[in-house]
Chain A
Amino acid sequence: MSDLIEIRWHGRGGQGAKTASLLLADAAFNTGKYIQGFPEYGPERMGAPITAYNRISDEPITIHSNIYEPDYVVVVDDTLLESVPVTAGLKENGAIVINTTKSADYLKKVLNSYNGDIYTIDARKISMETLGKYFPNTPMLAAIVKVSKIMDDDAFLKDMEGSFKHKFAKKPEVIDGNMKAIEMALKEVKKI
């Protein structure tokens, strides 16, 4: 299963990292992939560090364990960088995507000189501009799709529009904002 892509999400309870991992699984599923999306359940408190996972493959996936050597890591909250070993096991030919405005020097230092690619995105700014509230998960979802190249931008945008229409059937006013957040995030995620 050389085509297997493994992703680990780090966030804080309430930020939607679990939901983002499920949305990513959905999007990949809709392009015909085999998927897993699962959180690591611990004490469920707002603000507590949480981890969620994705496996995505062209072949059926039978492994049922957490992910220790991910291809990609997504950090939804940069205050975790100093307390959680987010790059643990992360493959050197993979990448980490962080929601942050911190400097490149700071990030390199705090990531224990991780040698793979480091991408950043200001999900707070995108979320505030497009949704008027801080929901970092939608921009982070777009960022990891862009970086991991799981699917091309157009297929992803089309799929997400369908998902949002379904998910927000009772709140159609938020669909446009979420779509804008995704479009912005696809453009603004940058390698440092």
Chain B
Amino acid sequence: MSIRERLSGNEAAATAMKQINPDVVAAFPITPSTEIPQYFSTFVANGVVDTEFVAVESEHSAMSACIGAEAAGSRAMTATSANGLSLMWEMIYIASSLRLPIVLSLVNRAVSGPLNIHCDHSDAMGVRDSGWIMLFSENNQEAYDNTLMAHRIAENEKVLLPLMICQDGFITSHSIENIELEEDSEVKKFVGEYHPKHYLLNDKEPIAIGPLDLQAYLFEHKAQQAEAMKAAKDVILEVSKDFEKWTGRHYGLFEEYMLDDCDMAIVCMNSTAGTTKSVVNELRKNGIKAGLLKIRVYRPFPSEEVAKALANIKAIAVLDKADSLNAMGSALFQDVASSMYVAGNQVPMVNYVYGIGGRDTTTNDIKSVYDDLAEIVKAGKAENPYRYLGLRREEK
């Protein structure tokens, strides 16, 4: 039986970590994810978990300690945001290339500069090609559920990749909302114990991890990493199916909300998807066929599945909460656009960069995107594909 509770997104993430009771947590505090290690350290102090908590002196060390712990054969977790992830960057690649299934809670925040503590996805987008599985969470419930599923996905022998669970800084991390929690004993049973096949502290199999890897093999090792990322898609679906059997809560690679019969769709991630659902509901009341595709699994990117789900739509807007500053559309837009092109689907598409540095995104903003899409449906084509949503401009 699920437990009815109310928690913030950070509390939800920390609660999941408590129930998982990993061997090691190494973390350095940074807004807005600070509360996660803060709550977790009280669990450690109160003896609620028997985790080794390593209060490191930087995020680079946090990721390094997680790498050491996982390589030794234990289960390690951490949490960070924005510049914390930037400082981890070197070790982020090492974690994934050593195939260490570390789980990281990333509370999304704008990467400096200038200094900003509020939400956008520039931190996550900076590591999108680093070989980490990336799950995005609309609310506290999804942050909790994704964390409970994380180890089963990351530690699967076909995968063995690190995994990060993203949620929106402040918007969900600091908002108290209803949530369904699961019993500690049930979580323990679902997550299971970690018994790696190869690990450093195994005296029966002396191995080296992460030595020099030059022209002869690095290419092949990278290809194996890529294969693991492809394999992760099915593993994520299997674990999600088991999770649904247990909790009744359904998760796929993405969520289709009023998508099958819709004329125009928004594609986005995290909390903005919730705001979009509310707008879709209102538009549907007036007979307007609006829909939403909310990406949950951003890495591996469900390219064929997304292209199939969007094939028969008349106009699509992809919302990016990070600007790639590349004069050709941001990350999620590029992923969706190339998925559609490769699948041979020609649908007019536009990209909106929105919510940068915590700029609030309202139902009126989302409504204006559907208004724009209605125009595109009418015209049968999209002019000016690279757009902004909620940007203030000088009065002309």
| A93 at interface, CB cutoff 8 A | no
Residues of A within 8 A of B139 (CB): 62, 64
Q: A35 contacts B363, CB within 8 Å?
A: no
Q: B172 contacts A64, CB within 8 Å?
A: yes
Q: A35 contacts B178, CB within 8 Å?
A: yes
Q: B6 contacts A29, CB within 8 Å?
A: yes
A65's nearest neighbour on chain B, judged by CB, is B362
A41's nearest neighbour on chain B, judged by CB, is B170
Contact with A along B326-367 (1 / 0, CB 8 A): 000000000000000000000000000000000011110000
Q: B360 contacts A65, CB within 8 Å?
A: yes
Q: A41 contacts B274, CB within 8 Å?
A: no
Q: B361 contacts A65, CB within 8 Å?
A: yes
Q: A61 contacts B170, CB within 8 Å?
A: no
Q: A25-B6, A41-B117, A41-B170 are in contact. Are A64 and B277 (CB under 8 A)?
A: no
| A76 at interface, CB cutoff 8 A | no
B169's nearest neighbour on chain A, judged by CB, is A41
Q: A25-B6, A29-B6 are in contact. Are A61 and B177 (CB under 8 A)?
A: yes
Residues of A within 8 A of B118 (CB): 41
Q: A25-B6, A63-B278, A65-B275 are in contact. Are A37 and B176 (CB under 8 A)?
A: yes
B174's nearest neighbour on chain A, judged by CB, is A38
What is the minimal beta-carbon distance from B211 to any residue of chain A, in angstroms? 45
Contact with B along A25-68 (1 / 0, CB 8 A): 11001000011111101000000000000000000111111101
B272's nearest neighbour on chain A, judged by CB, is A64
A62–B138 alpha-carbon span in the complex (Å): 9
Q: A63-B363, A64-B168, A68-B362 are in contact. Are A37 and B275 (CB under 8 A)?
A: no
Say which size band chain B's interface belongs to: 20 to 34
| B143 at interface, CB cutoff 8 A | no
A1–B175 alpha-carbon span in the complex (Å): 20
What is the minimal beta-carbon distance from B132 to any residue of chain A, in angstroms? 25
| B259 at interface, CB cutoff 8 A | no
| B271 at interface, CB cutoff 8 A | yes
A68–B363 alpha-carbon span in the complex (Å): 10
A17–B45 alpha-carbon span in the complex (Å): 30
| B171 at interface, CB cutoff 8 A | yes
B118's nearest neighbour on chain A, judged by CB, is A41
| A185 at interface, CB cutoff 8 A | no
Residues of B within 8 A of A1 (CB): 278, 281
Residues of A within 8 A of B361 (CB): 65
Q: Which of B32, B117, B171, B176 contacts A64 (CB 8 A)?
A: B171
Contact with A along B136-180 (1 / 0, CB 8 A): 001100000000000000000000000000001011101111100
Residues of A within 8 A of B175 (CB): 36-38, 64
Q: A60 contacts B178, CB within 8 Å?
A: yes
A117–B32 alpha-carbon span in the complex (Å): 38
Which of A26, A34, A41 has the largest number of chain B CB atoms within 10 A? A41
Residues of A within 8 A of B281 (CB): 1
Residues of B within 8 A of A35 (CB): 6, 176-178
| A22 at interface, CB cutoff 8 A | yes
What is the minimal beta-carbon distance from A167 to any residue of chain B, in angstroms? 14
A22–B6 alpha-carbon span in the complex (Å): 10
Residues of B within 8 A of A37 (CB): 175-176
A130–B172 alpha-carbon span in the complex (Å): 36
A64–B275 alpha-carbon span in the complex (Å): 5
Residues of B within 8 A of A62 (CB): 138-139, 274-275, 277-278
Which of A37, A41, A62 has the largest number of chain B CB atoms within 10 A? A62
Residues of A within 8 A of B278 (CB): 1, 62-63
Residues of B within 8 A of A63 (CB): 274-275, 278, 363
B32's nearest neighbour on chain A, judged by CB, is A41
| 8 closest Cβ pairs, A-B complex | A62-B274, A38-B175, A64-B271, A37-B176, A29-B6, A65-B362, A62-B277, A63-B278
18 contacts between A and B (CB under 8 A): A1-B278, A25-B6, A25-B176, A26-B176, A29-B6, A29-B178, A34-B177, A34-B178, A41-B118, A60-B178, A62-B139, A62-B274, A63-B275, A64-B139, A64-B172, A64-B271, A64-B272, A68-B362
Not counting A34-B177, A37-B176, a sample of 9 additional A-B residue pairs whose C-beta atoms are within 8 angstroms of each other reads A1-B278, A1-B281, A25-B176, A29-B6, A29-B178, A37-B175, A63-B278, A64-B271, A64-B274
